[in-house]
Structure 1
Amino acid sequence: MKAKKIVQSSEELDRRFDEGEDIHELIDMPRAKIIRHGKKVRITLDVAESLVNDIDVIREEMGVDRGALIKVWLYERVQQEKQ
């Protein structure tokens, strides 16, 4: 089996992952870094049950956790508002 080339940028890694490629062999694990974006803070939200049901339909189609989806949406919206 031919060895896979280690990725040179996060953009390349994202592209190859998005294309469905198994990326585990592409990562140089000894050099990999975990970036933590500050202290985590827990928040509690009261929302309508119908909204939660709508979110659950979307997350099930995507195959992701509800909390993870909401975090991504919040992040994307904050970035949009910053611009």
Structure 2
Amino acid sequence: MKAREFDERFDAGEDVSSDVDWTRARRTNTETRRVNVDFPAWVITSLDRQARELGVTRQSLIKLWIAERLQ
């Protein structure tokens, strides 16, 4: 089946799950790439305080905040 037909059936609300090879399914744009960012000491201190209050790591907090801002 062509992608256009698949999309039309999906958009029409049809169950297309039997037409998908779930063993080969994957999410796109999920590969990670390392980035280095320099912050002033006061920013790191504030990030650490916030992360501790939320019970997450500094890295998780930064990733969450950036993702929220980009949406």
State the TM-score, normalized to the length of structure 2: 0.58
Distance 1:50 1:39 in 2: 31
Aligned residues: 47
Q: Are residue 57 (structure 1) and residue 64 (structure 2) matched?
A: no
Higher relative contact order (CA 8 A, sep 6+): 1
Aligned pairs for 1:1-83 (under 5 A) are: 37-79=29-71
* Identity between Structure 1 and Structure 2 (%): 30
Q: Which runs of 4+ in 1 moved over 6 A?
A: none
User: Runs of 5+ in structure 2 lacking a partner?
Assistant: 1-25
- Residue 39 of structure 1 deviates from its aligned partner by 1.3
| Matched residue SS, 1:40 | coil
- Residue 38 of structure 1 deviates from its aligned partner by 2.1
User: Runs of 5+ in structure 1 lacking a partner?
Assistant: 1-33
